[in-house]
Chain A
Amino acid sequence: MEGPLDGVRVLDLSEYIAGPYCTRVLAGFGADVIKVERPGGDPIRRWGPFKDGTVNVETGALHLYLNQGKRSVTLDLETEDGRAVLAELVAAADILVESGRPGSLHDAGFGYEDVREANPSLVYASITPFGQDGPYSQFNAWEITFYALSGQMHITGEPDKEPLKNGGYVGQYGAGQNAYVAIMAAMWERGFSDQGQHIDVSMHECLTSLLEMTDMTYIYGNQVHQRTGNGARAAWGIYPCADGFVGVVSGPLRRWQNISTLMENPILAEDRFMQTGAQSELRDEIDAHMLPWLITHEKEEIYQKAQALGLPFGYVSTPADYFKNEQLQYRGFFHEVDHPVAGTMKYPSMAAHFTDGLWESKRAPLLGEHTDEVLESLGHDAQSRANLSAAGALGAHPNGGVTNGAAR
């Protein structure tokens, strides 16, 4: 099956997580994504863990996942020749994705205003912590910075402890996923206007958009929303079990009886627990009746048995659990992908089945693996490529460029 984005050429100048995740999805659906890397590579290549436990720009987990299906070209944009090659790539692109500090690409001559005339149909997406303008636009930021300012951190955690950031990089993944939607929308419109445009994605705003109802607490109720830890409701939250943690979700009152059935404890079916509002007041007592059963049963078993009774339970899953779960195997969500250095591993694919398939899982590129072939496709013959290399345009300095912190 031909991918829906076959023939779409993407120039990926982004680094770290948000932009590369966006272009990973573009690549999965068939776009030809050329990842332009600075000498030494995208710094994310130096974030571990690594396949064999030692630092290797080819085997970091984030890099292997985020850069699936792309081609890698190294260019030193500090050199005139490097910038000349980039101009050729920009002219040939349908989509450009970048994550530089606002203004930085303009300084190199590749801001949107600089390139639109040469390529008016280019869809140019900038994915940055705080967007292209406004008082925070030049702020330095890592995940925790915009996570805090978005309001997400303040509502997560215990009320008597510090606000808590979600582990991992959900803020950056979210911005990348939003950017994908925005780019697809722009491509849809381009289909009848033949014109590109500049898309400004702010990680901060993408996250603020996910505040559910808590900003309305202030807008409608003039109050500050407080964090409530693992929840203030009875039988609704995270509980320990024999081999980890389960999510007890008791659902509507009419299903309460099923909690008693599941946990083989008739006390929980007593009338006093089934009065509206009573469960919150009797929370400690309810917990005491649930825990003996929970801590003697395993998470997958609890989940399966609860769901069989129509209870919307979950459990705190880890990758080890995914590989044991029958549903995920049935759906074939994990694809085996071979990589010449990292070997064969199972990678997440896409989160939906399409009638026509459409998604293909491929490996991440080696650093600079496609520099030669991409240059050749631009019309640079062997002599020209050798000249570029000799001029340092292709970033062939050993370990050049990456000075931003030690690798972990």
Chain B
Amino acid sequence: MSPTPMPRNDGATGTPRVPLREGQQGPLKDLLVLDCSMVWAGPYCTKLLADMGATVIKIEANRQLDSIRGPAIPPTIPLSHYANDDPGEDPWNRSGYFNKTNRNKLGMCMNILMPEGREVFMELAAIADVVIENFGGGVFERMGYGYDVIKSVNEDVVFVSMPPSGNGGPEAKYVGYGVAIEQLGGIVARTGYLRDGMPMKSGINYGDPIAGIHTAGYIMTALLHRRKTGRGQYIDLSQREAAINWTGEAVLEYQMTGEDPTWIGNRDAHMAPSGAYRCLGDDEWVALAVGSDAEWNGLCTAIGRPELRSLYPTLDSRMQNHDAIDEAITEWTSTRASDEAMSTLQGHGVAAGVSANSRRVVEDPHLTERGFYPEVDHISAGRHRLAGVAWNMDRTPGAVYAAAPALGQYNDFVLKEILGKSEDDVQALRDAGVLETTPELILQMRAAAEAKTSGD
């Protein structure tokens, strides 16, 4: 297994060093990313890079699957819906959460703790532009893959580590999920119902994508720096700090006023009225905020209450009489469908939007027209829509061109097409038990069943 000679990415020509797949396009198609991250924060980062054309090789172990694949045997209450609500023979390949987050990535299932697996991993690390991991508390380093190790075979690599509160310091070994990071990062302290004694968690694990988007930008910054200086970079991200950045003004507000932030429901510190108003139907709402006198006049006209204009002509008066205004708005919205209410209000210049449920989001006419939910074929899950590329570029657009990898689906592709190995080399790795396409638990159960059969 001799390493294939692979040129360094000089960052000057844009020529990909590895074969691209059909439809792979975008500004980053010369980049190679070795992705050891799991769950959502790291994978969200590499999703952004993969959507922009980067070749992302996701490394998984069959002993411990990426947890958002769900367990090898489907639980009573699944983490996410399986395709067509059917876990099938291979539930780990059919999780909506995983398949959405990991589209466009190549996936290898390889034991990188075995010597043969380590050798392959280091060959990949040697040619990668970026190596990224999000194990907590120094685990990756203890597995033998710290920055120094990777750097010894790849001097100018951009190496990313993204633990909850950063490496080093008294909390270096702390563990954290997105649900705790959004608390530690100041988002929850400002979220909650008006006049309610408790703050409220978000509907998503906000900490993860906040860290992921930050990291994608930092990686690109480091690569531009590398182009200029020839130097690689170790990026040690703190997920907590990333979340604080998205509430940064609160840090200054506290220093100015001595008061900590609190929650005010759907109201707004700078606008009134602001809220979600009940519409016709079950759990149907339209949300709006009024940010100017012109918008206020438009609202009063739209809901057929022109007398309110002069009753509450100033922001202060609207703030003080918010409850009464809410009642007047609800009286109008509650007899209308949410989409109708939105159209009428927007027609009068009011910043109104339907509170869309998951069906309304996926079927949204605006998103549909912009092509935001493209379809993609998955080897096990079938053909489905997926949330698309987060931004459009007119000359070098990204694309959703391939489904998420089934476990180990691209073992051969990566070894042969990227590392240039022969079938004999790959077979040797299979024989050594380094490569897999099935979770270890399932293999053990099969072996036990076989032993029982042959023992009978």
The chain A residues found within 8 Å of chain B, CB to CB, are 2, 4-5, 25, 29, 47-51, 59, 61-62, 64-66, 112, 130-137, 139-158, 161-170, 173-174, 177-182, 184-189, 191-193, 195, 197-202, 204-206, 208-225, 227, 229-231, 236-238, 240, 245, 247, 249, 251, 277, 307, 310-320, 322, 326-328, 330-331, 333-334, 345-348, 350-356, 358, 403-406, 408
Contact = CB atoms under 8 A, between A and B. Distances in A.
Contacts of B386: 219
Given A211-B204, A316-B188, A216 B96 contact: yes
Contacts of B414: none
A170 B204 CA distance: 13
B240 A213 contact: no
A66 to B, nearest CB: 7
B191 A167 contact: yes
A136 B366 contact: yes
Interface in B352-379: 352-362, 364-367, 369-370, 372
- Scoring B181, B249, B288 by chain A CB atoms within 10 A of each residue's CB, the highest score goes to B249
Nearest to A311: B175
A174 B246 contact: yes
A356 B354 contact: no
Nearest to A248: B180
Interface string B387-398: 110111111100
Contacts of A347: 248, 251-252
Interface stretch (B291-299, B303-311, B436-444): B291-299
B6 interface: no
Given A135-B366, A200-B391, A200-B394, A216 B351 contact: no
B12 A351 contact: no
A245 B206 CA distance: 18
A218 B392 CA distance: 25
A132 B390 CA distance: 14
Given A50-B256, A217-B96, A348-B245, A167 B264 contact: yes
A30 B307 CA distance: 53
13 contacts: A131-B392, A148-B285, A157-B200, A168-B190, A170-B210, A188-B28, A214-B203, A215-B361, A219-B384, A222-B85, A317-B184, A352-B214, A352-B237
Given A184-B220, A249-B177, 14 more contacts: A49-B253, A148-B354, A187-B224, A192-B14, A201-B391, A205-B391, A208-B361, A208-B387, A220-B80, A220-B81, A312-B180, A327-B169, A333-B238, A404-B292
| Majority SS at the chain B contact face | mixed
B181 A353 contact: no
Interface string B137-180: 00000000000000000000000000011101111001111011
B175 A307 contact: yes
Interface in B2-55: 11-14, 26-28, 30, 40, 48, 52
Contacts of A50: 256
B246 A168 contact: yes
Contact of A215 (B277, B370, B387): B387
Nearest to B394: A198
Given A167-B263, A317-B186, A405-B270, A227 B203 contact: yes
A325 to B, nearest CB: 8
B268 interface: yes
Contacts of A157: 193, 200, 203
Given A140-B295, A147-B287, A238-B198, A212 B97 contact: yes
A144 B266 contact: yes
B1 interface: no
Contacts of A215: 100, 358, 361-362, 387
Contacts of B11: 188, 191-192
Contacts of A312: 164, 174-177, 180
Nearest to B14: A192
Nearest to B174: A307
- Scoring B179, B269, B287 by chain A CB atoms within 10 A of each residue's CB, the highest score goes to B287
